[in-house]
Amino acid sequence: MILDPLINGLSLGALYALIAVGYTVVYGIVQLINFAHGEIFMVGAFGALSTWIVLGRATNNLSWWMLPLMILGGMIVGIAVAVLMERFAYRPLRHAPRLAPLITAIGISVFLQEFVRLFFGMIPGFPDAKAAVPFPQIEFFTGPAVNLGFAVVQRATFFTLAALIICWGFLWWFVNRTKLGRAMLATSQDADTARLMGIDVDKIITVAFAVGAGLAAIAGVAHGLRYGNIDFKMGFLAGLKAFTAAVLGGIGNINGAVVGGLVLGVVESLATSLVTGQFGGAAWKDVWAFVLLIIVLVFRPQGIMGAKVVDRA
């Protein structure tokens, strides 16, 4: 009985976690909350949709192997937008007061939403994006839920959880076992010293944005599979929740973002299904998420796994 909402919560949490990593990685390197990151998630989903429209719609191809192509397409679009955003919106403000990039982030966010809303449908053959757009329901990853005996699991859940595990593993390997990852770690601990050790900090920042965008795009695809459609404003709430997850886990800490995302998803899902009556049900799910944020901010402001970040030298 409790397993269904738990698994549903893990799936939702995995989605948050994939986006939250982007907030946390960028924050760890430049101490910037990139509030436009939720839009990268949205743009990534639209990128994946576009890939399908170009490659698969003519034949209504819904075979499983379309999915990697869509993910790739989504990642390319998401990463391109994120890198351009960093280069042209944030980099000129690198030494500006902190408020400037924050306001810029909100501006980019509105810009990207409106851009997709107004112009996506203007591409010949593309559906109008002023309302929700159906996302291709790739066979195997959608369709009837699977009954595992102890619980009934949506197929998209498998995809989302697998995506999170693979991405998490990849990130661990990237940060701990590659030269670029080591340079990222060094930059996050002391950017000035990293520069004096010959690290191109601008490049590291670009890489941080790209890594976050790649994961957000995968989350965009997962969202499309899970809910069956995508829309231009889906990045707002998802971004806010993912930001919450990143703060919950301890911003700047990759593992914290993953744990924070999962915790947030599970709490949201459990609270929604266990609390019923006037103050319960689906209408209250966002309330529980932000109540959790407030509790953590009051009692453990550095986040669940924040201890590691505190000792930045």
Partner 1 sequence: MTALAPQSTHHVSKEVILQASEVTMKFGGLVAVDGVNLTVHAGEIVGLIGPNGAGKTTFFNCLTGMYKPTTGRVEFNGAILPPKPREVVVAGMARTFQNIRLFPNMTALENVMVGRYCRTTSGPVTSIVHGPKFRREEQETRARAAELLEYVGLGHQGASLARNLPYGDQRRLEIARALATDPKLLLLDEPTAGMNPQETREAEELVFRIRDSGLAIVVIEHDMKFIFNLCDRVLCLVRGKTLIEGTATEVQSDPRVIEAYIGSPKTKEAPDA
Interacting residues toward partner 1 by CB under 8 A:
174, 177-183, 185-186, 189-190, 192-201, 207, 308, 311-313
- 124 CB contacts (<8 Å, ≥6 apart)? none
- 278 CB contacts (<8 Å, ≥6 apart)? none
Q: How far is the CB of 112 from partner 1 (least distance, A)?
A: 24
Which lies closer to partner 1 via its Cβ, residue 64 or residue 170? 170
Which lies closer to partner 1 via its Cβ, residue 186 or residue 287? 186
Which lies closer to partner 1 via its Cβ, residue 179 or residue 279? 179
Q: How far apart are CA 289 and CA 305, in angstroms?
A: 18
Q: How far is the CB of 31 from partner 1 (least distance, A)?
A: 16
Q: How far is the CB of 85 from partner 1 (least distance, A)?
A: 18
Burial of 221 (0-12, 13-18, 19+ CB in 10 A): buried
Which lies closer to partner 1 via its Cβ, residue 235 or residue 256? 256
Q: How far is the CB of 180 from partner 1 (least distance, A)?
A: 5
Which lies closer to partner 1 via its Cβ, residue 201 or residue 304? 201
Q: How far is the CB of 223 from partner 1 (least distance, A)?
A: 25
Which lies closer to partner 1 via its Cβ, residue 149 or residue 198? 198
Cα 140 from chain centre: 23
Q: How far is the CB of 296 from partner 1 (least distance, A)?
A: 22
Q: How far is the CB of 201 from partner 1 (least distance, A)?
A: 8
Q: How far apart are CA 313 and CA 303, in angstroms?
A: 19
Written as one string, the DSSP assignment of the chain is --HHHHHHHHHHHHHHHHHHHHHHHHHHHH----TTHHHHHHHHHHHHHHHHHHHTTTTT---TTHHHHHHHHHHHHHHHHHHHHIIIIIGGGTTS-THHHHHHHHHHHHHHHHHHHHHGGGSTTPPP-SS-EEPP--TTTSSSPEE-SS-EE-HHHHHHHHHHHHHHHHHHHHHHHSHHHHHHHHHHH-HHHHHHTT--HHHHHHHHHHHHHHHHHHHHHHHHHHHSEE-TTHHHHHHHHHHHHHHHH-TT-HHHHHHHHHHHHHHHHHHHHH--STT-SGGGHHHHHHHHHHHHHHH-TT-TTTHHHHT--
Which lies closer to partner 1 via its Cβ, residue 95 or residue 179? 179
Which lies closer to partner 1 via its Cβ, residue 128 or residue 200? 200
Q: How far is the CB of 176 from partner 1 (least distance, A)?
A: 9
Q: How far is the CB of 195 from partner 1 (least distance, A)?
A: 4
Which lies closer to partner 1 via its Cβ, residue 112 or residue 305? 305
